[in-house]
Structure 1
Amino acid sequence: MYNIQNLINSGIDNLQVVVSVTDLKEFALSLIDEAKNIVPEKEDKELTAMETAKILGVSTNTLWRWERDGYLIPKRVGKRPVYFQSQIDSLKK
């Protein structure tokens, strides 16, 4: 019995196959595992409101307005807002 990866590696171009849901799921999970090994997960740096404001070139009042308007929502640790580097990076794009 062939698995999907073996069929792909066989080099046969014009082949039609019927795949079970289980085999398809197994193949998808193997691709995910392979991708995780290629691109290591990076830790998302936590930033204070002051650090975030400085990076973005805005005031902390602007950050508060952005939170109120739903533009940039921080995580709350107690009452202290914590921003993540990934949030900042997505705003800069």
Structure 2
Amino acid sequence: MDLYSMIEAGGRMKFEVTGEDLCKFAEVLIEKAQQMKMRELAMQPKEEKWLTMHEAAEMCMVSKTTLWQWQKTGYLVPAKMGRRSLYALSDIQKILATRKRRDDDDDD
């Protein structure tokens, strides 16, 4: 059993390890971190598209006041560019997908 597996198994333990064990443990940690980073990068859009408040409200079929309320509650937070609020298209798409799933569930 390698060091990573023992730690992952949990519990309180004392270890006596060699330099070779530590190197293998470091390699496992580095590999896991790289895998996590690759998954994170794969999930991110290549280039984000930004929408104005008017465009976001139109796409979500809500008023600008609703967007303001969503911002205050943290539901949809815009990026600020000077005095302008810009909304990430990916955030709006997540909200619309969630809304569609909820509507589909209500129909059942």
For the criterion TM > 0.5, the same-fold answer is yes
1:79 positional shift: 1.4
Structure 1: gaps (5+ residues): 1-16
Report what 1:49 is aligned to.
53
Q: TM-score, normalised by structure 1?
A: 0.63
Which amino acid in 2 is paired with 1:25? L
Q: How far is the alpha carbon of 1:30 from its aligned partner?
A: 4.9
Question: For residue 74 of structure 1, what is the aligned residue in structure 2?
Answer: 78
Give the root-mean-square deviation of aligned CA atoms: 2.7
Structure 2-normalised TM-score?
0.56
How many residues are matched?
Answer: 77
More helix by share: 2
Runs (4+) of structure 1 exceeding 4 A deviation are 32-41
CA distance in 1, matches of 2:39, 2:72: 37
Unaligned 5+ residue runs, structure 2? 4-23, 99-108
Deviations, residues 26-82 of structure 1 (Å, cap 9, x unaligned): 322453576589778521111110110111011112111221232211111111101
Structure 1 residues 33, 67: CA separation in 2 closer, same or farther (over 3 Å shift)? closer
Q: Percent identity?
A: 29
Structure 1 Cα separation of the partners of residues 52 and 73 of structure 2: 19
2: distance between equivalents of 1:82 and 1:88?
11
